[in-house]
Structure 1
Amino acid sequence: MTRLSVEMLAADAPPPITSAGHAQLGIAVLVGIAVIVLLITKFKLHAFLALTVGSLALGATAGAPLDKTITSFTTGLGSTVAGVGVLIALGAILGKLLADSGGADQIVDTILARAGGRAMPWAMVLIASVVGLPLFFEIGIVLLIPVVLMVAKRGNYSLMRIGIPALAGLSVMHGLIPPHPGPLVAIDAVKANLGVTLALGIVVAIPTVIIAGPLFSRVAARWVDVQAPDRMLPQRPSEELENRPGFGATLATVLLPVVLMLAKALVDIVVDDPADHTQRVFDVVGSPLIALLAAVIVGFFTLGRPAGFGKDRLQQTVEKGLMPIAGILLIVGAGGGFKQTLIDSGVGQMILDISRNWSIPALLLAWLIAVVIRLATGSATVATVSAAGLAAPLAAGMSTTHTALLVLAIGAGSLFFSHVNDAGFWLVKEYFGLDVGQTVKTWSAMETILSVVAGGLVLLLSLII
């Protein structure tokens, strides 16, 4: 970042709500994060409330007036929900439609019918990556773990040999690939191009998931050699397998928003003329809102109709898809409020001032910030949202591709070493019937590999493009 770009950023930024120095601001950040961690881990408080209280504690420690702290928090919450709320809702509807219609089962069964032996871990990566595109991580686990357990039991595989690739596929999608909430919020915070971020995210995700999935699963299976627990094996009724949508139609529906957004990015690169009619059309159809909305509407016909869904059943599916995301929206919004409080308190500018004299690359600094917040809070989404707010000043003067790489660096850092303060840690532990030590050796190690490999690839790409 040039000195000129830093001075321009300082001139454009609104004055901070506190006059605290760097030391006090640093303490305020630690206090805010510590409050969030304690409330989530020790007192089991909902993350929305913890983030709200943590934001107030941050402002108070930084010496900001309470009314200005509240304004910063509510402004950040509102702008974050406005930016990604509709996209989260559309993704939830598509995911629910995919599950209820049997489309997800159709993808799974079709791929598994063509895979076996050594190819099975690779098939699980493919399944998880495809199904994980429109689904939240927790929903993807609930949807895929029964399949993982059945495959491991039926084929007499080590559970880790099958489970780790599936978890890696879901996790890398959650951390790096929009339209998942974390990447979307980071894209909005640093003003990155969504299509370019999506394209580069896929480039980073493929080798990352191969290393952390099928390759690491060999090591994990030696460290923790367990079989699928009988108590968790699902008993799916036979009628769920009838009247399902076709594999091709289901796959096309799932990939439609990705194709539209990638097409927009390609047209932007090739045409590069805002007045061109073709570019204007793709700017509309390739926007996340239109791309996901199109997938949902198309899904009514390609998924709902073959499954025999009438108007009433489709309405029920939409309603059931929307109900579980209330908590997610509030957590994401509160994370945006915490991020805005950090920015308005001057923490972002403090990091910029301090890092200006460092020799550490901006992308590595963004990755490290996300790692620290991930370790502290246990939430990849909170880590992404908060780190995006802190690292946003680093995007000043960056090219379009490097701004996209900044988003991916943050996303990679947000996956680092899931442990006992992460809900996903306990979800994996219970589903796989592991103890805490076994979960650390497998799940936590896999998340760390994802984070380090993805972060390294981002830095490598920054030297090439």
Structure 2
Amino acid sequence: MTRLSVEMLAADTVDPITSAGHAQLGIAVLLGIAVIVLLITTFKLHAFLSLTIGSLVLGAAAGAPLDKAIASFTAGLGTTVAGVGVLIALGSILGRLLADSGGADEIVDTILAKASGRTMPWAMALIAALIGLPLFFEVGIVLLIPVVLMVAKRGNYSLIRIGIPALAGLSVMHGLVPPHPGPLAAIDAVHANLGVTLALGVLVALPTVVIAGPLFARYAARWVDVTPPERMIPQRPSEDLERRPGFAATVATVLLPVVLMLGKALTDIVVDDPENGVQRAMDVIGSPLIALLAAVIVGMFTLGRAAGFTRDRITSTVEISLAPIAGILLIVGAGGGFKQTLIDIGVGQMILDFSKDWNISALLLAWLIAVAIRLATGSATVATISAAGLVAPLAADMSTTHTALLVLAIGAGSLFFSHVNDAGFWLVKEYFGMSVGQTVRTWSVMETLISVTGLGCVLLLSLVL
């Protein structure tokens, strides 16, 4: 299903907590989002607090009793954290093991050793995609960009020519492929199948990385020519590592949860019998929790122990990995609270009433909503969670495949045109030593290309699946 029609869409069956009309609800939504944008961009308030306040303003403006608005927000927060919190934590542990053990360096060094001048941009995109699977975007930037700077300096490569593919690989994984927070939250909001979403996400990610990475980098390098800033070029850290994990073991560990979740999705399609023993086993083994937990446990041996880590060192690595995700969990949870408030005041029904006669794809509508919120807030995660809450009713009668495509359309929209209100914009600008204008012509255009290409791939898949 890709077209909106009153016969194919069903509204939320829960009675709204307010009797406000469509006009008041529309004003409330705009006011709630405006408050969030203003608090994040102008007052520099943390996104968790901004989403919390915006949710309360949304409920109040819609005429909902304050106690019910609070109950909606807290229920949404709790449900979202319960659904994705453990997965985010496990992903963070795996990423930290990968970084601290030297496994990430092993992937980088092995691929770069086999790459020549012409294949270097493709090698950087591959490295970023592999490392970007278990790592959050900001962690991936901090881990990978110093490597890009060193390669550009020592090999006399154009920084933009090899840097853009690396950024594209990281960004695409962040926006489209679970277990990253945005896609996980959207999957939870629209009740999509994680395995199917992961499979289609990888399918969409491949051409998107190619187009927005190595191919676009050819032109971006002509527009902007910068040299790696000396102050940003790191020296290889002298870690107290006895050795590094092997390349094959490291890649196998990173891909293990992906293989398990894809295996579950494939079994569901091929067997399609809930009572079948194989399918029941794969339902357990391929569940996100077990898949990521298995990767973490395996990683303690293939990454931690292989690097000579003691038990205490592995324990310390796990503890350290959990601290940085507190803010992410709170933002994702508050986004879930905002989403639930939108649903409970009846915004889903309002969108259905307005859009039932539109000749527009539900996937395109989801993308446009995510784009608008992304441009306003600068946060891909906030855009994904908010848009998912707004369009969740559209998934009511969608097939499993098209519900997954709805998640990917939202994810693609959440990456559109990163600019000055996005922390990633400034991170890239400083690492690459570019001006604001140069960052817009490279990073911002790349993000827009990812968003549009991702949407195009999603719409093409919707025609054939």
For the residue of structure 2 that corresponds to 1:167, the secondary structure is helix
Deviations for 1:241-268, whole angstroms, at most 9, x for unmatched residues?
Answer: 7500000000000000000000001111
Normalised to the residue count of structure 1, the TM-score between the two structures is 0.98
Q: 1:427 to 1:248 in 2, by over 3 A?
A: same
Amino acid at match of 2:6: R
Give the Cα separation in 2 of the matches to 1:26 and 1:158: 48
Query: Which position in structure 2 is the counterpart of 1:440?
Result: 440
Equivalent residues of 1:157, 1:227 under 8 A apart: no
Give the Cα separation in 2 of the matches to 1:175 and 1:237: 30
Query: Which position in structure 2 is the counterpart of 1:49?
Result: 49
Query: Which position in structure 1 is the counterpart of 2:153?
Result: 153
Structure 1 unmatched runs, 5+: none
Query: Which position in structure 1 is the counterpart of 2:202?
Result: 202
Query: Which position in structure 1 is the counterpart of 2:429?
Result: 429
Equivalent residue in structure 1 for 2:6, among 3, 14, 28: 3
Query: Which position in structure 2 is the counterpart of 1:333?
Result: 333
For the residue of structure 2 that corresponds to 1:178, the secondary structure is coil
For the residue of structure 2 that corresponds to 1:324, the secondary structure is helix
Give the Cα separation in 1 of the matches to 2:122 and 2:238: 27
Equivalent residues of 2:241, 2:308 under 8 A apart: no
The range that moved more, 145-154 or 238-247, is 238-247
Give the Cα separation in 2 of the matches to 1:264 and 1:311: 32
Give the Cα separation in 2 of the matches to 1:84 and 1:193: 14
Give the Cα separation in 1 of the matches to 2:237 and 2:170: 25
Equivalent residues of 1:209, 1:450 under 8 A apart: yes
Post-superposition offset of 1:437: 1.0
Query: Which position in structure 2 is the counterpart of 1:167?
Result: 167
Query: Which position in structure 2 is the counterpart of 1:357?
Result: 357
Deviations for 1:346-390, whole angstroms, at most 9, x for unmatched residues?
Answer: 111111111111000111101111111111111111111111111
Give the Cα separation in 1 of the matches to 2:347 and 2:418: 26
Post-superposition offset of 1:73: 0.6
Amino acid at match of 2:153: K
Deviations for 1:127-184, whole angstroms, at most 9, x for unmatched residues?
Answer: 0000000000000000001101001111111111111100000000011101111111
Give the Cα separation in 2 of the matches to 1:328 and 1:435: 29
Give the Cα separation in 2 of the matches to 1:2 and 1:445: 35
Query: Which position in structure 2 is the counterpart of 1:285?
Result: 285
Give the Cα separation in 2 of the matches to 1:214 and 1:275: 46
Equivalent residues of 1:177, 1:202 under 8 A apart: yes
Deviations for 1:97-124, whole angstroms, at most 9, x for unmatched residues?
Answer: 0000000000000000000201000000
Query: Which position in structure 2 is the counterpart of 1:103?
Result: 103
Equivalent residues of 1:264, 1:279 under 8 A apart: yes
Post-superposition offset of 1:238: 3.9
Give the Cα separation in 2 of the matches to 1:368 and 1:409: 9
Any residues of structure 2 matched to 1:369-448 within 5 Å, and which? 369-448=369-448
Give the Cα separation in 1 of the matches to 2:69 and 2:213: 43
For the residue of structure 2 that corresponds to 1:275, the secondary structure is coil
Post-superposition offset of 1:3: 3.4
Amino acid at match of 1:48: F
Post-superposition offset of 1:236: 1.9
Equivalent residues of 1:102, 1:240 under 8 A apart: no
For the residue of structure 1 that corresponds to 2:330, the secondary structure is helix
For the residue of structure 1 that corresponds to 2:307, the secondary structure is coil
For the residue of structure 2 that corresponds to 1:390, the secondary structure is helix
Give the Cα separation in 1 of the matches to 2:253 and 2:218: 33
Normalised to the residue count of structure 2, the TM-score between the two structures is 0.98
Q: 1:112 to 1:240 in 2, by over 3 A?
A: farther
Give the Cα separation in 1 of the matches to 2:59 and 2:15: 15
Deviations for 1:19-74, whole angstroms, at most 9, x for unmatched residues?
Answer: 11112111111111111111111111111001111111111111111111111110
Give the Cα separation in 2 of the matches to 1:436 and 1:58: 34
Equivalent residues of 1:250, 1:303 under 8 A apart: yes
Post-superposition offset of 1:193: 1.0
Structure 2 unmatched runs, 5+: none
Amino acid at match of 1:92: S
Equivalent residues of 2:264, 2:282 under 8 A apart: yes
Post-superposition offset of 1:237: 2.9
Query: Which position in structure 2 is the counterpart of 1:191?
Result: 191
Q: 1:82 to 1:390 in 2, by over 3 A?
A: same
Query: Which position in structure 2 is the counterpart of 1:73?
Result: 73
Deviations for 1:303-357, whole angstroms, at most 9, x for unmatched residues?
Answer: 0111111110011000000010000000000011111111111111111111111
How many residues in Structure 1 have an aligned counterpart in Structure 2? 462
Give the Cα separation in 2 of the matches to 1:159 and 1:34: 38
Query: Which position in structure 1 is the counterpart of 2:459?
Result: 459
Equivalent residues of 2:187, 2:193 under 8 A apart: yes
Post-superposition offset of 1:239: 4.2
Equivalent residues of 2:242, 2:308 under 8 A apart: no
Give the Cα separation in 2 of the matches to 1:375 and 1:347: 21
Give the Cα separation in 2 of the matches to 1:159 and 1:343: 46
Give the Cα separation in 2 of the matches to 1:365 and 1:241: 51
For the residue of structure 1 that corresponds to 2:48, the secondary structure is helix
Equivalent residues of 1:274, 1:280 under 8 A apart: yes
Equivalent residues of 1:2, 1:397 under 8 A apart: no
Give the Cα separation in 2 of the matches to 1:29 and 1:419: 24
Sequence identity (%): 81
